[in-house]
Amino acid sequence: MDATKRQELEKRRMAQLATPSMLSEQASKEITGGLNMLLADIFALYLKTKNFHWHMSGPHFRDYHLLLDDQSQQIIAITDAVAERVRKIGGATLRSAGHIGELQRLSDNDSDYVTPADMLAELREDNLRLVGFMLATHELCDEHGDVATASLLENWIDEAEQRAWFLFESGRDGR
């Protein structure tokens, strides 16, 4: 590759993203930041849910295994919508697993063994924490008049609350 072509490629690589948006630059920056942190948490929750799905054991194995598979599919399904919303409002989104690790607020669980009850309880709490993060992002959207992102968040909040409810009820001992 000659020097001119290399310079052109470098120039394109360094070009700023300039997606048009009705939001102010400040609103886009703040909401993008909130959505990227949410996206990192969503990826972390997805991976933890799959981890527990893969390592489930015990007398309720089949039910819990299927529950966590269903929940992981629901979680991963929103990642593209979150990332595309970031782009629609003029921001840049996550670019690597390292970036996810920098931004995620939900903790990983790398334990060799976790009891089924502890798996369900930890995922329930993580989903509820995610609801709290989504509510905070919703407030940010309200401050800036971003009704489209707020509307998406409302649906995702409901889904996370339902996941937490299912995990709670599944982990009860019938009393």
Question: What is the pLDDT averaged over residues 125-151?
Answer: 97
For domain 24-171, the CATH architecture is Up-down Bundle (1.20)
Residues 39, 83: contact at Cβ < 8 Å?
A: yes
pLDDT value at position 5?
79
CA atoms within a 13 Å half-sphere pointing along the CA-CB vector of 163: 31
Range in 17-26, 116-125, 151-160 the model is least confident about: 17-26
pLDDT tens column, 27-36: 899 999 999 9
